[in-house]
Chains A and B, each alone.
Chain A
Amino acid sequence: RKEVEQDPGPFNVPEGATVAFNCTYSNSASQSFFWYRQDCRKEPKLLMSVYSSGNEDGRFTAQLNRASQYISLLIRDSKLSDSATYLCVVNNRGNTGKLIFGQGTTLQVKP
């Protein structure tokens, strides 16, 4: 079983749609959680950290359920520029630890 699992998609949605991505992780001792965005043939870039209380950044909302070991990302009012691969990432040991990436979920927003 992979440590971090995501549905690879692709998710094809029209502009303005709301789309949700989910992710599960296997290590209950995991400490930090993130969503990264990766454009085609580019490096991953931090989209947002994920906190137990849930957090929002503009059109993006992230949720963490530690009991279910489940992380989600909601994108509202999708833009063409949101088209990318979204990587669910877990870190078990703070900044001394490795980042564990999911396979990524591909989003294609169409006009």
Chain B
Amino acid sequence: DAGVTQSPTHLIKTRGQQVTLRCSPKSGHDTVSWYQQALGQGPQFIFQYYEEEERQRGNFPDRFSGHQFPNYSSELNVNALLLGDSALYLCASSLNGPDYGYTFGSGTRLTVV
């Protein structure tokens, strides 16, 4: 049973660059949420995608954007990277509806230098 798959696992970028992170949800899930976890902090909600639309957004600037594809997979794009964007980026998938639960991927660790 394939869980949530994220790629790449690690990434090093330079300030000002752009990055794209990818997520394949758990089989049968149709909703994808992205979280940013800075060192020593809990994950912070970035946004959620359902039916290829951004359904909810957290308190993140427009530099953070995303996309969901017809096969439910998703991308997170971050433009004009800042040092403060260094974090673990987590993707969580779920099935839309009552509380069916969320499954997290192992994350992408982004380092901005």
Residues of A within 8 A of B (CB): 4, 8, 32, 41-46, 49, 87, 91, 94-104
Which residue on chain A has the smallest CB distance to residue B42?
A101
Contact code string B73-113 (vs A, CB < 8 Å = 1, else 0): 00000000000000010101011111111101111010000
Q: Would you give 30 A-B contacts (Cβ < 8 Å), ordered by A? A: A4-B42, A41-B109, A43-B90, A43-B104, A43-B105, A43-B106, A44-B90, A45-B104, A46-B101, A49-B99, A87-B42, A87-B43, A94-B97, A94-B98, A94-B99, A95-B99, A96-B31, A96-B48, A96-B50, A96-B55, A96-B56, A97-B56, A98-B33, A98-B58, A99-B35, A99-B102, A100-B45, A101-B44, A102-B42, A103-B41
Chain B residues within 8 Å of A, Cβ to Cβ: 31, 33, 35, 40-45, 48, 50, 55-56, 58, 88, 90, 92, 94-102, 104-107, 109
Specify which chain A residues have a CB less than 8 angstroms from the CB of B107 in the assembled complex. 43
Tell me, in angstroms, the Cα distance from A79 to B42 when the chains sit together: 24
Knowing A43-B104, A45-B104 are in contact, say whether A101-B43 is a contact too (CB < 8 A). yes
Distance between Cα atoms of A95 and B30 in the complex (Å): 11
